[in-house]
Amino acid sequence: MPTTLAALSPLDGRYANKVDALRTTLSEAGFMHHRVKVEIAWLQALSLAGFAEIKPFSPAATDLLNHLVEQFSETDAERIKAIEAVTNHDVKAVEYWLKESIGLPLPNNFQHLPARPHQIAPEITAELKAAAEFIHFACTSEDINNTSHGMMIKTARDQIMLPTLDKLIARLTEIAHDNASVSMLSRTHGQTASPTTLGKEMANVVARLKRARQTIAQVEILAKMNGAVGNYNAHLSAYPQHDWENFSRKVIEQRLGLSYNPYTIQIEPHDYMAEMFDAFARANTILLDLNRDIWAYISVGYFKQKTKAGEIGSSTMPHKVNPIDFENSEGNLGLANALLKHLSEKLPISRWQRDLTDSTVLRNIGVAFGYTLLAYDSCLRGLNKLETNHTRLEEDLNQAWEVLAEPVQTVMRRYGIENPYEQLKELTRGKGISKEALHVFVSGLAIPPEAKESLLRLTPANYVGIAAQLARQV
């Protein structure tokens, strides 16, 4: 068997252990498992619909059906795959597997497959065999697939992706609070600018990510179970008096935990998926921005990185501690967003009532989420290595007294001194200014003594407005 070293995708090779959490839900085996869950939920609902041809299942039969869902294994997935090799249809393979699982033999063209051993009580087998043709009753494949995808995305979002994003937000919040009062020189356009605090800059990212997270969490996950073109054609041909719309709604909302979409073609239009993937991409873009900023802060020495025993930064320069976690995160966020963008742009488009271009694309949801999860993990590891370099921050501030030209000219404006901006521009633009020279200038201003004293008390380190307050509040 090939090892991870032979994997075509790094998600299944080099980074396999970092995205394992997604495999149970978003792998092909996970997709099969969810299809089984949907098929059985539909069958159990039909048994309670009051039709003469299918009776409510006994507790023993119900337990057996539930067991097929709860104990679904990789061996079961392999059996479905073996059946699919003959059918060349993945959903039909699940239907045949379910019938086989309740004691029915496979059709004659499956004779090459070894029989599966069964230990089902004869009375349960008889009961379920009587209901066997209600498996996949009136369904098109997309009734099973779209509901499965909905549950897969919901589970991945709620149990894996958002909790990991929450860890990032929590760590950034901690950094913001710890550094709320740590003054830092801003660098608008890469040039010295009005000071802020290190904590406030982290708080800015926290606020952005919280909004992005809320958008992700609020996307309503839609599903449909209404037949080949969305009109219950087949359903009504068998039971014309039954309220199929209400029946479908209850299965989707009460049994599967999704939201019912009454207006569809053969496929659920995937608009909610586009919303979801766009929302993740926006969060990812915020983190990409953070990665680049922290990379630059490390470069100028505002942050140091904790070293790890045995780790090598460069094969030739022993002194180096490279910001590899943030670089890794940035690269994988780019890959993730490229996939998420394609998913959101492609999936809502289907020729007429159905084409199959969405099918192969949907199989890459796990890849898009995988690169996203990998990027989150890398960023979090990088954040946990950061140490604030107070000395370097103070050095930069002490060499940037020109940033106080802003408050000086603003106070001059208040007291009606002509051309204050122009005067400070002439004094400081492109050449900086010393503390002493700035104090000489301020001392000569015709402004009230208290205003002059206030300006003379300013330093680049304490000219930070309410940055510390904002950082603590986030």
**pLDDT of the residue at 226:** 98
Is-catalytic flag, 189?
yes
DSSP per residue, 387-419: EE-HHHHHHHHHT-GGGGHHHHHHHHHHTT-SS
Is-catalytic flag, 342?
no
Asked if residue 51 has pLDDT above 60, the reply is: yes
Neighbour-count burial of 285, counting CB atoms closer than 10 A to its CB (0-12 exposed, 13-18 middle, 19+ buried)? middle
Catalytic residue among 9, 237, 299, 314: 314
| 384-405 confidence digits (pLDDT tens) | 999 999 999 999 999 999 999 9
Asked if residue 338 has pLDDT above 50, the reply is: yes
Angle at 23 between CA 72 and CA 216, to 5 degrees: 115
DSSP per residue, 244-299: HHHHHHHIIIIIS--EE----SSS---HHHHHHHHHHHHHHHHHHHHHHHHHHHHH
| 270-320 confidence digits (pLDDT tens) | 999 999 999 999 999 999 999 999 999 999 999 999 877 656 555 454 455
- In angstroms, the CA 464 to CA 443 distance is 22
- Average pLDDT of the residues in 198-216: 98
Residue 174: strand, helix, or coil: helix
- In angstroms, the CA 236 to CA 244 distance is 8
| 167-191 confidence digits (pLDDT tens) | 999 999 999 999 999 999 999 999 9
- In angstroms, the CA 379 to CA 168 distance is 8
| Residue 186 parent element (H or E) | strand 183-186
Asked if residue 137 has pLDDT above 90, the reply is: yes
**pLDDT of the residue at 315:** 47
- Which region among 25-29, 237-241, 403-407 has the lowest average model confidence (pLDDT)? 403-407
| 215-226 confidence digits (pLDDT tens) | 999 999 999 999
- Average pLDDT of the residues in 21-25: 97
- In angstroms, the CA 27 to CA 52 distance is 39
Tokens in use for 407?
């408050």
High-pLDDT (> 90) share of the chain, %? 87
Residue written as token pair 């002493």: 436
- Average pLDDT of the residues in 347-374: 97
- In angstroms, the CA 315 to CA 281 distance is 35
Q: Average pLDDT, whole number, for the chain?
A: 94
Neighbour-count burial of 453, counting CB atoms closer than 10 A to its CB (0-12 exposed, 13-18 middle, 19+ buried)? exposed
Catalytic residue among 112, 189, 315, 319: 189
Predicted model pTM:
0.94
What is the dihedral sign for C-alpha 379, 381, 382, 387?
Answer: positive
Residue written as token pair 């709620």: 158
- In angstroms, the CA 390 to CA 394 distance is 6
Q: Where is pLDDT greater, at 420 or 303?
A: 303
